[in-house]
Amino acid sequence: MLELLHRYFQDIADWTTPKGGFYIWLRFTADSLSIRRLFHACLEKDVLIHPGYLYDRLDASHIRLSYAYASQDEMERGLIVLAQEARKLMAPSL
């Protein structure tokens, strides 16, 4: 998952390399990105994300990524969709 994060998110998000466990917390660097809108956009593409506000009601900037149970192909597809939808929502309105 770390390789995929570097490939698809290095310019739009940051994260901490886990020392153990099953999750990586991803934070998008654009303050204007609505995680709620991102949740719905990804869901429409059959990708379920876990917004930080599910775990801390005040966390509006993180999502929790699980890397323990998904195959490499599932992870890559999900992260590609997540990156595409995040970029769409971060794009300035015309």
Find the CATH number of the domain harbouring 28.
3.90.1150.10
Number of domains in the chain: 1
Distance CA 78, CA 94 (A): 28
Model confidence band, residue 93 (pLDDT cutoffs 50, 70, 90): low
Q: Give the predicted TM-score (pTM) of the model.
A: 0.91
Q: Who contacts 17 (Cβ-Cβ below 8 Å, separation ≥6)?
A: 2, 24
Q: What is the pLDDT of residue 94?
A: 41
Q: What is the pLDDT of residue 70?
A: 87
Q: What is the pLDDT of residue 21?
A: 87
Query: Element (H or E) spanning 87, and its range?
Result: helix 72-90
Q: Which domain holds residue 48?
A: 2-90
Distance CA 90, CA 46 (A): 20
Q: Which residue has the tokens 């940051």?
A: 14
Token pair in block for residue 23: 């999750």
